[in-house]
Amino acid sequence: MLPNPSANPILSALRGAFVAPEGWDQIPPAGPGAPDCLAELVCRLSRTCPATILVTDPDPAVSAAAVIGAGASGAQVFIAAGGEEAADAIRSAISRFDQSGRALIFRGPASAFCNQIEIAPQLVIVRRFEDLEPLRGRLPSHGVVVVRQQGDAPDGLRRWADSCLYQVLAGTPGRRSSIPESLFQEVRGDLDASRDPADTEAVIQRLRGSPTAESGPALPPGLWPRRPFPGPPLPPTLPGGAPWPRISIVTPTFNQGRYIEQTLLSILHQGYPNLEYIVIDGGSTDETHQVLERYRPRISHLVSEADRGQSHAINKGMALATGDILTWVNSDDLLAPGALAAMAMAFHTSQADMVAGVACVFSGTEFVDLHLTSCAPGPLPLRDLLDLDGCWNAGQFFYQPEVMFTRGLWERAGGRVREDLFYSMDYDLWVRFAAARARLHVIGRPICWYRQHPEQKTHAVAKFKAELEDCRAGYLASNPGWPCEWPAPPAEPRRQLRVALVNDHGFRYGAGLAHQRLGEGIALAGHELLPFTLTNESAGLTGATPLTPANLYQALASRQPDLVITGNLHSAGATAEHLDALAGAFPTFAVLHDLWSLTGRCAYPEDCSKYKDGCDHTCPTATEYPSLPLTQIRPAWEAKRAVLTAGNAPTLLGNSAWTTEFARQALAAWGVQDPGARTGQIRYGFPLDDLAPVDRGLARRLLGLPEDRFIVMLSSELSDRRKRTREAFEALAQLDLPDLTVVSLGNKVEGEKFPVADVRRPGYLTDPGRLALYKSAADLYLSPSLDETFGQVFVESAACGTPAMGHPSTGVRDAVCQGVSGILVSPAGPKPLADAIRSLYLDPQKRAAMGVWGRIFVENEWSFYSSYHSLFVHWRRSGLTARFRMPPKIGFRPGANPLPPVEPATRRPGTRVEALHIGGEEGPYPDLGLPRFRWAFGPVSRLRIHALETGIHTLVILYRNLHPGQTLHVRTSRSVSRSYSLALNRFDHDRVVCTAALLEQGPNLVELEFSKWDLNPADPRPMAAVLTGIYCIPDPSGAEGMPPSGGNS
């Protein structure tokens, strides 16, 4: 029943008289098409919700509907997916829209979400009545809940929810609906009753609603271009105070009235402050003239007269253009949202002559391909342009609207397109650009929507290719010296490779996360990923075979990869011999997430240069992680040198210019003649849908942070020497700001004391949505580390709209774009840092501007598309693409594709232990004497033991206990509960609990129940004990070996 609909903007969306029937308001069932009705209704309600929306229904179409509607209303959408698989499906569904930044996806259930995040949603969409239980007291009096479940709510919920529940698709006969019949029929539309309701794509396509005069022909789902780009307004200037450059866009058109309005809107709705838009109509006789007249006041120059064709129209428009940046967009294509600001930023930061981005190729309502040139940044390659079959026709270069260029380049290349060319005037222009030594910059961000339709000129393939041949022949005749014959392209090109990702801890911790992100880009490009971890513990298991090079080779060889990409290996006890075993069998690329591969034992040599001529027992940091006995340091260094200088050495890939140069200098010192041929630089990619800005005030309210204070974020422990966190706190203490709050991520250390009064410690964050909230809540991210191969945390902050600050040292110089995404402070030290922080503290307008600039920059340079582009460029240079007969084309699959699970390379058949409700791996922390460990959570942590056979097993638990009087109860499904009093040993050393359990062959659930755990608002994890190892040993003695049911440990 719905109270006072006139006072509720959501309910007023249903336009009609509301009645109060007995029971719940319902829509009668609509058969197989019913889920479409729900998605349509959710979309309508979301369009008018001004505040917060919570979705706990795992149907991806329902979440997509809420996100689409929120794009119109400005609401923030929270989605409690209930699990990893559902979260990935939901992310895939909403990634097709340009509103993904409005959705925060929580991978757990609604109950866990509500325990961790305080929100009062105005609109809630749930699948079952029980999902409402965590929301007691959270809904405002005018809130609305949509429930899919049939029947009445339980008595305990009904009295509370009567005033706000709106149930749909209940399917109970004879109940009256409070929705007017006309609206119900409108919602249903002409749904085909035979449609499979599980067909999410069909559901999403329906969400656009009926085409209007403003929308024209079918487009991919979403509000673009009918609504302006929803991003924040651009700052008044570019970084440094320069004005936004004038961008002149010419649209030539003739009888394209069916499409041109969408083209116009995609340009006029950019929200760009310095646009010059020129439309040259060749005297159309269809509705083009009427459409253009409606938009005449917003068009800088509109010419409508007969001309000599498309090229003549482009030249006429360019003659009128006064912009610094130029391009043309044909009247059947569109610009992508935010394309002009992205291009302006790319020209500003790269100083290139031309910039190319991603072309989203679509047909009807479907994106069919995402294209990005495979050209390397730098000189536009003329030789490749002249190789028509091997490069141009194979997809190496451009879809025309994905490219913009400077006025200077246009004028150097002649300032015109050839009017005698019908199909290939753009190809001819690129050839002249290359001859004029154009410098290309490539960004991994959508710039245009390129429409495929039957009326396109390029559908006449034979004529198109013949004109290309004539165009090339003309250039070669005027420029002798080029070859007249070109190598034939491969007859059966391969477009998919099997790529093995190998590292020590799977997709965990900073380096593992970077390796995962590299894999995301590879998967989007359509390759098959085979992720391997060298430690069973990384997959939540124990029971590993010895990690020998032969074991590693056999594990990978059984999956037959085409190539191997390694990350960090040292935490798994791997040596140079393991890397050699891979490089000897497969093309191998070693990503330098740190520098362990180039030293005797350390990951960061800092000022030490012994790695060049021989690390040995005099190592100045021998006791630090990763430690190694002194006598083994020299042999380890010699083994790495031998592997990396051999003929089949792996290629070393740096994640920054500094790291790549470090590798080259090391190889040169070891006698490698051409170290540049054995090294390359790649880019990391970042999940920019997850790491997206959230309104700062909203983020603070959700996290319980003060809204009126200056919040600085750090992300390491006070004792971390390399991260120099103490220097950051010293700088903040010098400022003595009255409204300072510090949020310090990373693991808490008992007894740590800070020189700043208000310090919040939320702990180590693994959920990207929660990380994005914290990053968005901060005014500044601060990290004064001087030793980083890159620095992902800086890019993560900029992605969330928060400027970062650090020192211009090592790889940080690549992670922070000075004055754009953050500030690099020199010299190092607390005083210079304090001065720089004070400057930003006193200039909130600059902080806000850097938040917008930084997000644009990150979208350009650090997407998964940019990451794969950098890797593919190196594959081409190294000859890998030629080896596997790959065409020089980069294309991405539309939508997100979940990565396959990480597979332990060392797993053996037999008894193993899998972690369920237990924390992820952390550490080691040498200063605390802690090895790698996991937190056990209270009140109950759960394990799954996979037994090889039925019988008695001994469960061995290594723990460190922080709580006096702690009691542990161990339960299995087949054994009685056993109780143990845990010794109070804190972090000093391990203690052991041994308990016998009767296990069945296969999986067995084991519960560890604790009597005490932390209740700390700064870190919501209920930490009960540290677990440093859990092992399960089959007991051949049988039941006679069962110990008593309790005791001490």
User: Which of 36-45, 550-559, 818-827, 1007-1016 shows the highest mean pLDDT?
Assistant: 818-827
Q: Would the pLDDT of 346 be above 80? A: yes
Does residue 374 sit in the same domain as residue 397? yes
Segment 682-692 mean pLDDT: 91
Is 164 a member of any domain? yes
- 205 vs 1, more confident: 205
Is 362 a member of any domain? yes
- 694 vs 838, more confident: 838
At 255 the pLDDT is: 93
Picking from 10-19, 387-396, 763-772, which range would have the lowest pLDDT averaged per residue? Answer: 10-19
pLDDT tier, 1036 (very low <50, low <70, confident <90, very high otherwise): low
Segment 591-596 mean pLDDT: 95
At 10 the pLDDT is: 35
**3-state secondary structure (DSSP) of residue 688:** coil
Does residue 675 sit in the same domain as residue 703? no
Q: Would the pLDDT of 188 be above 50? A: no
At 571 the pLDDT is: 86
Is 988 a member of any domain? yes
Q: What is the CATH number of the domain that holds 141?
A: 3.40.50.150
Q: Which residue has the tokens 């006025």?
A: 407
Q: What is the CATH number of the domain that holds 259?
A: 3.90.550.10
pLDDT tens column, 831-847: 999 999 999 999 999 99
Does residue 645 sit in the same domain as residue 553? yes
- 214 vs 76, more confident: 76
Does residue 780 sit in the same domain as residue 749? yes
Segment 233-261 mean pLDDT: 95
At 1043 the pLDDT is: 35
Does residue 248 sit in the same domain as residue 190? no
The domain total for the chain is 5
- 503 vs 66, more confident: 503
The 8-class DSSP code of residue 762 comes to: E
Does residue 750 sit in the same domain as residue 808? yes
Does residue 1041 sit in the same domain as residue 948? yes
Is the peptide bond preceding residue 675 cis, with omega within 30 degrees of 0?
A: no
Q: How many CB atoms lie within 10 A of CB 894?
A: 18
Q: Would the pLDDT of 164 be above 70? A: no
pLDDT tier, 482 (very low <50, low <70, confident <90, very high otherwise): confident
Q: How many CB atoms lie within 10 A of CB 69?
A: 27
Report how far residue 329's alpha carbon sits from residue 347's, in angstroms, rounded to the nearest whole number.
19
Is 29 a member of any domain? yes
At 136 the pLDDT is: 64
Is 705 a member of any domain? yes
pTM across the whole model: 0.77
The 8-class DSSP code of residue 12 comes to: G
Picking from 273-287, 587-601, 664-678, 708-722, which range would have the lowest pLDDT averaged per residue? Answer: 708-722
Which structure tokens are listed for 96? 């097709």
Looking at 847, 862, 877, the residue that finishes a domain is 862
pLDDT tier, 882 (very low <50, low <70, confident <90, very high otherwise): very high
- Sequence-distant (6+) residues with CB within 8 A of 242 are 348
At 420 the pLDDT is: 93
Segment 169-192 mean pLDDT: 32
Looking at 681, 710, 735, the residue that finishes a domain is 681
pLDDT tens column, 629-680: 999 999 999 999 999 999 899 999 999 999 999 999 999 999 999 999 999 9
At 463 the pLDDT is: 86
Report how far residue 422's alpha carbon sits from residue 107's, in angstroms, rounded to the nearest whole number.
53
Q: Would the pLDDT of 327 be above 90? A: yes
At 84 the pLDDT is: 74
Q: What is the mean pLDDT of the chain?
A: 82
Is 228 a member of any domain? no
User: Which of 26-40, 82-96, 114-128, 423-437 shows the highest mean pLDDT?
Assistant: 423-437
pLDDT tens column, 903-950: 888 655 556 677 777 887 777 776 677 887 888 988 898 888 888 788
At 1019 the pLDDT is: 65
Distance set, CA 161 to CA 297, 327, 627 (Å)? 52, 57, 60
Does residue 701 sit in the same domain as residue 588? no
Segment 1000-1004 mean pLDDT: 85
pLDDT tier, 294 (very low <50, low <70, confident <90, very high otherwise): very high
At 29 the pLDDT is: 32
Which structure tokens are listed for 183? 């609206």
Q: What is the CATH number of the domain that holds 518?
A: 3.40.50
At 600 the pLDDT is: 93
Does residue 102 sit in the same domain as residue 246? no
**What is the enclosing helix (H) or strand (E) of 340?**
helix 339-350
**3-state secondary structure (DSSP) of residue 775:** helix
The 8-class DSSP code of residue 401 comes to: G
pLDDT tens column, 369-419: 999 999 999 999 999 999 999 999 999 999 999 999 999 999 999 999 999
Looking at 681, 705, 727, the residue that finishes a domain is 681
Q: How many CB atoms lie within 10 A of CB 492?
A: 5
Report how far residue 757's alpha carbon sits from residue 738's, in angstroms, rounded to the nearest whole number.
10
Q: What is the CATH number of the domain that holds 709?
A: 3.40.50.2000
- Sequence-distant (6+) residues with CB within 8 A of 780 are 710, 711, 712, 713, 802, 803, 804, 805, 837, 840, 847
Does residue 440 sit in the same domain as residue 544? no
Q: What is the CATH number of the domain that holds 1027?
A: 2.60.120.260
Is 149 a member of any domain? yes
Domain of 607? Answer: 498-681
Is 801 a member of any domain? yes
> pLDDT > 90: what percent of the chain?
50
Segment 47-58 mean pLDDT: 79
Segment 472-494 mean pLDDT: 84
**Rounded to 5, what percent of the chain is helix, strand, coil?**
35, 20, 45
At 527 the pLDDT is: 94
At 572 the pLDDT is: 86
pLDDT tier, 64 (very low <50, low <70, confident <90, very high otherwise): confident
Q: Would the pLDDT of 549 be above 80? A: yes
Does residue 659 sit in the same domain as residue 802? no
Does residue 664 sit in the same domain as residue 710? no
Beta-bridged to residue 782, according to DSSP, are 805
* Closest to 278 in 3D by CA, of 320, 250, 252: 250
Q: Would the pLDDT of 333 be above 60? A: yes
